[in-house]
Structure 1
């Protein structure tokens, strides 16, 4: 017997009260012998319990799980029946249904949606462990390969000159795999013109032109591969060959005997209000800083409004995120890196740190020796989402100061 407070009863209650015609297309009569509403309830229940369910999982759950037997009224659809239902009759993706169910809960329960608590964690991707591509290494291999290409082009030009062939290739400085494919094509035409047979295998000597053709072809394919890698990675430092969207990250659990090995994964951000998960954002970005703005944009797209406060840890605190919050009327509840240091009481040990040298009431920065800092440079930083002004201050009174050895190693103050 299914308990009265079981989640399966909750799913059934919610589905019976929402506008089911938004989710299921009843115009087609290919029900395949199963009730479409019950199958919809089974799909929603599987996602509610496990977060994900394959077609085979749905088939097994309906056979062996009492909650799914209750939902399906004893029916046991096959995985192909679920596949046909999802493909032919389900009209909305699970993400949109998730938002709709949240709106239903909001209408039937008292939820303070003005506060959205945000946190993230990293989940390992379903990708093989040794499929990593590191962009720093890729860049190095690409540069080394191009040096070899230029040397090979010079050697081929000398070969053409020695054999009175009217062919000269320029030693280009730009990395361009199209140019290398063109070189291969010219060499193949030259081989065909001179009736040079392509040979392979042990004991067969290759013609010098064939060796050049194979070497340039390998160069072209390598350069093409490095270009593809750069396009896939974008601004990331790594990705997995079997799951290109996954980035290699440090995980909280390391089954490699705590050797701090990187694993392919995703940075999953979750926002909740009064215990209800309101929004989920899956990112390939290792850093939480750059996930906040797209997370909030997704939340606004789903619900049409922004929360008034988004408490989060110091991993989200940045100039861009604070500027975004101010633009959209969100209170600044996020800490920032170094906030704890600034909150520390000033002592003889920490008085020389940058965190303790803040502007006073007159907007002047005074060092522990009571000397004023001077503004020496101002620049605009445009690498983030919003431009920001960076001010550089310097103290020119360090010569002869008794605190200099404790304060700085700089010779210019």
Structure 2
């Protein structure tokens, strides 16, 4: 049988995903029974193995290129212009057993206990102290000890063969049995476990967990938890950029939080998009000091404007926050003297600089201020719980970024753009998870899963494009052929694959 053309297989898979058909066996069945699919396949009937092989091993080399070409088509047809894009993330469950987890803390605890046992054994064998054993050379020492124990066991066997006295033979046998147990423990337990923990640490990398059935999947908290108890499930963090409800870029990451995914995603996006957006709109999960600085750029030449509210932006608008005397933002600041004036009219003067890392390891600079005297202040219980004087830890860089973000969000035009975020990017996730029922990946491994989500993103865009065309030409279609069918637009667009400007890689 001659090989199937990749253009035909691509059309069939994309159409199948628009119809919520993801299994390779069901796609095979669809090609044999569904008239539109038969038309797209040209009456060819690839089996499920061919479809799965093409999707899992061939498409990773072409998916990003095809997706970029499709985005360029949307730009040329005027559906998107990249004036601003909306960024958000969601977690999608991996094709992994939720009980096959490996945790970093467990590995570290087991490894520590194992090393203590190994050191105790080596002390007994070599008659050395703990200080003489090097932590990095424990495996090497175990291998040497195994060889040494083997030689000693061989010597004891030779002595046992020539010994006549029954008591001495019994003593030699007992000593040989003890050494054999030590040798067996090293070969069948200590060395394999030591190597096993090392391999597990390499798989983990910077993560805290992974699944045994999909090593690239990380355990994360899912909103759509079927147990409704907040349990962790293996999954991937999917980041997308949208405009006009079209997906213009996507990326999959192993980090649960959106904050740390923003910079690598934007770097990938800026490298793939034909032009850099002037504004990137995101929610408060992306509004960190490092992300604000990344948007500004190192040379103070803005890459883009990050329109994202910081985590206390909404609280600061409330009457309760504005009346809270413990909030430093409600105090008076004298810039020329670099001091705060507390609600009791006492000076809170600058004391020293401080550096500390936040929860994700980013180094931040702080200025520490301290009140001159809080001992007899009647407002102290409302201001602080500290026993001594009230201290203020002020991050000038982050506060400056927050002030700029607040000014931007208070602008009517930019506030209107930010208000579109929920009806742009959130609807995309709703369509993928709700309408298309794509809640779990079928493939395993980061590269294959990245490809699979690209296959999901393309059908979403195709359906959106078909919807726009239906809306624009509804009257003409009704006059000509009656009620229009969505498939007619999808079929006509998929029929263009293989024609200019689309190109496929050579196989």
Q: TM-score, normalization: structure 1? A: 0.78
- Structure 1 residues 241 and 174: alpha-carbon distance in aligned structure 2, compared to 1, 3 A threshold: same
**Matched residues in 2 for 1:314 and 1:91: separation?**
33
* Structure 2 match to 1:129: 98
**Matched residues in 1 for 2:129 and 2:341: separation?**
68
Aligned pair partner of 1:74 in 15, 33, 43: 43
* Structure 2 match to 1:24: none
**Matched residues in 2 for 1:302 and 1:78: separation?**
34
Q: Can you list the C-alpha shifts for 1:232-275, whole angstroms capped at 9, x where unaligned?
A: 1122111112211111111112223x232211111111110111
Matched, 1:152 2:152: no
* Structure 2 match to 1:344: 318
**Matched residues in 2 for 1:103 and 1:78: separation?**
33
* Structure 2 match to 1:219: 190
* Structure 2 match to 1:291: 261
* Structure 1 match to 2:460: none
Q: How far 1:349 moved relative to its partner?
A: 6.0
Aligned pair partner of 2:224 in 253, 257, 276: 253
* Structure 2 match to 1:302: 272
* Structure 2 match to 1:65: 34
Q: How far 1:312 moved relative to its partner?
A: 1.1
Q: Can you list the C-alpha shifts for 1:118-158, whole angstroms capped at 9, x where unaligned?
A: 11111111111111111112212222222222222223345
Q: How far 1:346 moved relative to its partner?
A: 5.8
Q: Can you list the C-alpha shifts for 1:147-194, whole angstroms capped at 9, x where unaligned?
A: 222222223345xxxxxxxx9997515153333233223323333444
Structure with the largest fraction of helix: 2
Report if aligned partners of 1:346, 1:356 keep a CA contact under 8 Å in 2: no
Superposition pairs of residues 356-367 of structure 1, within 5 angstroms: 356-357=330-331, 359=333, 364-367=339-342
Over the aligned positions, Cα root-mean-square deviation in angstroms equals 3.2
**Matched residues in 2 for 1:114 and 1:185: separation?**
69
Q: Can you list the C-alpha shifts for 1:255-298, whole angstroms capped at 9, x where unaligned?
A: 23x23221111111111011110111111101110000011011
SS of residue in 1 equivalent to 2:15? helix
* Structure 2 match to 1:405: 381
**Matched residues in 1 for 2:92 and 2:6: separation?**
33
Q: How far 1:219 moved relative to its partner?
A: 1.8
Larger RCO, structure (CA 8 Å, separation 6 or more): 2
Q: How far 1:399 moved relative to its partner?
A: 1.6
* Structure 1 match to 2:496: none
SS of residue in 1 equivalent to 2:90? strand
* Structure 2 match to 1:374: 349
Matched, 1:106 2:106: no
* Structure 2 match to 1:174: 135
Q: How far 1:110 moved relative to its partner?
A: 3.2
* Structure 1 match to 2:480: none
SS of residue in 2 equivalent to 1:118? strand
Q: Bigger CA drift: 287-296 or 85-94?
A: 85-94
**Matched residues in 2 for 1:255 and 1:45: separation?**
29
- Structure 1 residues 391 and 53: alpha-carbon distance in aligned structure 2, compared to 1, 3 A threshold: same
- Structure 1 residues 382 and 350: alpha-carbon distance in aligned structure 2, compared to 1, 3 A threshold: closer
Aligned pair partner of 1:230 in 201, 212, 218: 201
Aligned pair partner of 2:210 in 219, 239, 242: 239
**Matched residues in 2 for 1:178 and 1:225: separation?**
15
**What is the count of residue pairs matched by the alignment?**
366
For structure 2, the residue ranges without an aligned partner over 5 or more in a row are 159-172, 390-507
Q: How far 1:57 moved relative to its partner?
A: 4.0
* Structure 1 match to 2:150: 188
SS of residue in 1 equivalent to 2:307? coil
Report if aligned partners of 2:94, 2:234 keep a CA contact under 8 Å in 1: yes
Report if aligned partners of 1:246, 1:266 keep a CA contact under 8 Å in 2: yes
Report if aligned partners of 2:355, 2:363 keep a CA contact under 8 Å in 1: yes
Q: Bigger CA drift: 301-310 or 362-371?
A: 362-371
Q: Can you list the C-alpha shifts for 1:32-75, whole angstroms capped at 9, x where unaligned?
A: 4x56643332233335555x945434322211333312312433
